[in-house]
């Protein structure tokens, strides 16, 4: 059984989708990041960086902790042999688009979100910088998807890891140019209509409501 520690955010969705896609049994543990539960000692023992998501794989009597969403998806892909080619150019391409998310999609959209929506002090330079960079990153993905259904050919961890931030970014930036990214819109629709993705998002939403009924 795999214990998954998460919350309803674009990063928190990724392992839920992957576990559903792989058909692996797991238990959801909600870590309320709005109340600081991610900095509690018991969670820091699982992720020293104090951020969701993280997993502990107890299969086979062991206790393997994995933190960082990219590492979690890679670990689960290697555990199951699913959603990442075992070798060759297709694997290299899938890893490229996976790490593109780790270094670009997540950080840029995350910072845009922070400065534009959450920061008490509105800093025009920071908002513009991260908005422009977010739109540029979304444009790179849109170009890539103009002549293919999925980022690395076959549906893979590259699609799973990019999905949450792209969906949230395209929605937040729709009036600032993201509406024109039609290949990306089609991909969001394609990935979002997969049964495992729908199930994952539904389960996470229910778990979030159960954990924080007042915010629902």
Ligand X SMILES: N[C@@H](CCC(=O)N[C@@H](CS)C(=O)NCC(=O)O)C(=O)O
- Which residues of this chain interact with ligand X, rule CB under 6 A? 9, 11-12, 33, 38, 50-53, 68-69, 106
Q: How far apart are CA 91 and CA 193, in angstroms?
A: 24
* Smallest gap from residue 118 Cβ to ligand X (A): 11
Burial of residue 22 (number of CB atoms within 10 Å: 0-12, 13-18, 19+): middle
Question: 3-state class of 7 per DSSP?
Answer: coil
Q: Which is nearer to ligand X, 49 or 193 (CB)?
A: 49
CA distance 203 to 196: 10
Which CB sits closer to ligand X, 67 or 187? 67
Spatial separation of the C-alpha atoms in residues 143 and 136, rounded to whole Å: 11
Shortest approach of ligand X to residue 119 CB, angstroms?
14
Task: Report in angstroms how near the CB of residue 146 gets to ligand X at its nearest.
Answer: 27
C-beta closer to ligand X: residue 50 or 186: 50
Helices (H), the chain: 10-22, 41-44, 69-80, 88-100, 106-113, 124-144, 157-172, 182-192, 195-211
Asked if 98 and 161 touch (Cβ cutoff 8 Å), the reply is yes
In angstroms, give the least distance from the CB of 10 to ligand X.
Answer: 6
Q: How far is the CB of 162 from ligand X (least distance, A)?
A: 12
Do 28 and 6 touch, CB atoms closer than 8 A? Answer: yes
CB of 186 to ligand X, least distance (A): 25
Phi then psi for residue 58, to 5 deg, are -105, 10
Name the residue nearer to ligand X (CB basis): 107 or 186: 107
The smaller minimum CB distance to ligand X, of residues 33 and 207, is found at 33
Task: Specify the residue, 104 or 187, whose C-beta has the smaller distance to ligand X.
Answer: 104
């Amino acid at each position: 059984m795999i214990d998954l520690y998460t919350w309803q955010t674009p990063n928190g969705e990724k392992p839920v989708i992957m576990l559903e896609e792989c058909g692996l049994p797991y238990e959801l543990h909600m870590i309320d990041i709005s109340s600081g539960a991610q900095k509690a000692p018991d969670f820091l023992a699982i992720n020293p960086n104090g951020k969701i998501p993280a997993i502990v794989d107890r299969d086979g009597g062991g206790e393997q902790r994995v933190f960082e969403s990219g590492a979690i998806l890679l670990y689960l892909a290697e555990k199951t042999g699913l959603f990442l080619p075992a070798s060759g150019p297709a694997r290299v391409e899938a890893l490229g688009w996976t790490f593109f998310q780790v270094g670009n999609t997540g950080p840029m959209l995350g910072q845009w979100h922070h400065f534009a929506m959450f920061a008490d002090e509105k800093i025009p330079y920071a908002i513009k910088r991260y908005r422009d960079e977010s739109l540029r990153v979304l444009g790179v993905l849109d170009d890539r998807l103009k002549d293919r259904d999925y980022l690395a050919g076959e549906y893979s961890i590259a699609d799973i890891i990019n999905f949450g931030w792209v969906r949230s970014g395209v929605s937040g930036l729709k009036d600032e140019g993201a509406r024109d990214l039609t290949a990306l819109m089609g991909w969001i629709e394609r990935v979002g209509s997969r049964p495992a993705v729908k199930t994952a998002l539904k389960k996470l939403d229910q778990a979030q409501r159960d954990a924080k009924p007042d915010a629902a």
